Every structure is written in C-alpha cells, then in structure tokens.
C-alpha cells in the first residue's frame, strides 16, 4: 500500500470511529493525531501519537519498542523513530501492553519494517497471533481486529527481555485483557537512574453483557484483576507511562515540564499507586453493578 492509500484507510477508520462513537471502545481522533517524539528520560523516548503511547528504549546494540498503536499509525511511528535520528531497522524487539487494536494494530507492520522479534505474555502472544480475536477478551465480539503477528515469543511473568544493556521485566497484570502486561526498566541521565514503568490499562471495560465477576468457568477473574492492580501499585516507580497517556495526564505533565516546572512533574514516586487506586475504585464499582444485575459495559 502506498502512503496515500494508507492515509485514506486511516481516514476511513476515523469515519467508522465517528459512527461507532457510542460503543465501549470507540476510537478517538487524538489516537491518530501526530505528536512530535521526545525524550521521556535517559534512553526512553515517546514515539506515539497524541492519544496512544509507543515507547522506544535505546541502546548501542539496538532498541526495544513497546506498543505500535493503531494499524494505520505504523508510518507515523516509523517517522517518529527516524525524527529522533534513530533507525527503524535497529528495533530488535517489539513488546505489547495488551492485544487490543489501539496498542497492537501496527505491530505486524512494524515488525516487518524493522525485522524485530515480537514478544508478549503467554495469553498476549496468543491474542496477537489471532489479530485480537480472543474469546477470553472482555471486549470479545466488539474489539476491532487487526493484522495478526506471525511469530510471538512468550515472556514469563517476572521474565526479562534484553537488548544490549537494556533489561525490561514483564509483570503480568491480567484484567483489562487476559494477556495484559506491565513493563519496568531503568533509565539513567547524568548518573541518575530512575525506575521506569509502562503500566498496562487497568480499566474494567467490556463488550455488552460481559461480567468481570467470578463464575463457574472463571473462578479467579475478579481476584486476578485485583491482584494486578496491587501489582502495579507496588512497582518501583519514578516515571509512569501508560498505553493511554490521557489516563495519567501524561501530556499535561510533559507540557508543564517543557514550561520549566520544577521539580519535573513526570518524576512522581506515587504515580503508580495513584493510577492503581483509581482503577481499583472503578473495578469495585463495576463489580457492585454486576452483582446488582445491571447489564454492564
Ligand atoms: Zn484496551
């Protein structure tokens, strides 16, 4: 597909998003809106769009990309990597937060363009190789599908991914999807090393009629979700990133930092706890609704 066709496919998707704006997981214009790439801290860069994160961590031996955003954003992500003076071909590994189209849609194309290996949690790998068509996904039936990723290696819970001197650790945080994974690593600037966290979405949203409450076939779903929220709250956390930057006011903090606010608003050791606490309240409210028998979204 040439670039013009890619752009028109994108516009078609934006049109569809407008039509389905009332559905649980509708696309938003900011998801397609380009954003100038920037350094988050040390060797960690933001290469996503205004409304969807893609994070690049670099080393002299190659780099790791977390998330690709929407399928039609692949050229934007590649352009952002190049705008930093880096090579797409140097991306050695692509990781994923969760296998929904807004975070994984472009991964197959980015893997092709870079030659990178794709790696994910066990359940995440299955969903990526099915192009998002996962019957265990709370959004199953309403989730947008995307090009399947041909080969996805599995990273165990607590397992690591290494490229050069970068080491990322996988923390399984199932709930929003069965394969949801949060990633941690260290980035350093002038000898000061900070704990970086890319915490997955913790939103209890679903297709109509789905229940997060435990039942005969899923006896631990609610418990697992609560444990995931506790896992995120307990992560070593100096700088929090998330698949949806607006869920953590990330761009507002970046803007404040660019205006020179001190101390750096992106450095906040309580950010993971706050993100988890807000998600916990929403999950409990959702479970109460389900108990009361309300048809839930
Ligand atoms: Zn999602």
pLDDT the model gives residue 293: 83
Q: Domain 3-291 is classified in which CATH homologous superfamily? A: Ribonuclease Z/Hydroxyacylglutathione hydrolase-like (3.60.15.10)
Residues at Cβ < 5 Å from ligand 1 ion: 100
Separation of 7 CA from ligand 1 center, angstroms?
23
> For tokens 């794709």, what's the residue?
118
Q: Which residues contact 135 (CB under 8 A, 6 or more apart)?
A: none
Using the mean position of ligand 1's atoms as its centre, give its distance from the Cα of residue 110 in Å.
Answer: 19
Task: Report domain extents, the chain.
Answer: 3-291
What pTM was computed for the model?
0.92
Look at residue 281 in the predicted model and tell me its pLDDT. Answer: 98
Beta carbons of 204 and 283 less than 8 angstroms apart: yes
Element (H, E) at 276: helix 271-291
Task: Describe the strand order of the beta sheet including 192-198 as a list of residue ranges.
Answer: 160-163, 166-172, 181-189, 192-198, 239-241
198 strand-pairing partners: 183, 241
Q: Average pLDDT per run of 10 along the chain, which is 297 residues long?
A: 46 48 64 97 98 98 98 98 98 98 98 98 98 96 96 98 98 98 98 98 94 87 97 98 98 98 97 98 96 71
Centre of ligand 1 to C-alpha 182, Å, is 13
Specify the pLDDT at position 219. Answer: 86
Residue 220: its pLDDT value, please? 92
């Amino acid at each position: 597909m040439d670039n013009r066709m890619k752009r028109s496919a994108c516009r078609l998707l934006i049109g569809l998003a407008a039509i389905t704006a009332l559905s649980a997981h509708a696309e938003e214009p900011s998801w397609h809106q380009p954003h100038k790439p920037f350094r988050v801290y040390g060797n960690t860069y933001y290469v996503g769009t205004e409304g969807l994160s893609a994070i690049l961590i670099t080393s002299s031996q190659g780099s790791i990309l977390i998330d690709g955003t929407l399928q039609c954003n692949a050229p934007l992500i590649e352009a952002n990597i190049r705008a930093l003076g880096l090579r797409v071909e140097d991306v050695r590994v692509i990781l994923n937060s969760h296998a929904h189209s807004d975070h994984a849609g472009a991964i197959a194309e980015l893997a092709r363009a870079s030659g990178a290996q794709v790696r994910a949690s066990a359940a995440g790998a299955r969903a990526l190789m099915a192009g998002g068509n996962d019957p265990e996904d709370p959004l199953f039936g309403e989730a947008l599908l995307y090009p399947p990723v041909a080969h996805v290696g599995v990273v165990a819970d607590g397992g690591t991914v290494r490229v050069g001197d970068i080491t990322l650790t996988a923390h399984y945080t199932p709930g929003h999807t069965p394969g949801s994974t949060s990633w941690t690593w260290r980035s350093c600037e002038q000898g000061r090393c900070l704990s970086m966290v890319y915490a997955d979405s913790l939103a209890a949203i679903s297709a109509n009629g789905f229940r997060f409450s435990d039942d005969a076939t899923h006896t631990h779903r609610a418990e697992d979700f609560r444990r995931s929220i506790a896992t995120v709250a307990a992560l070593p956390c100096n700088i929090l990133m998330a698949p949806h930057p607006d869920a953590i006011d990330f761009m507002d903090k970046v803007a404040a930092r660019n205006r020179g606010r001190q101390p750096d608003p992106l450095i906040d050791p309580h950010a993971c706890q706050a993100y988890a606490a807000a998600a916990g309240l929403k999950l409990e409210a959702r479970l109460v609704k389900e108990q009361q028998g309300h048809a839930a979204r």
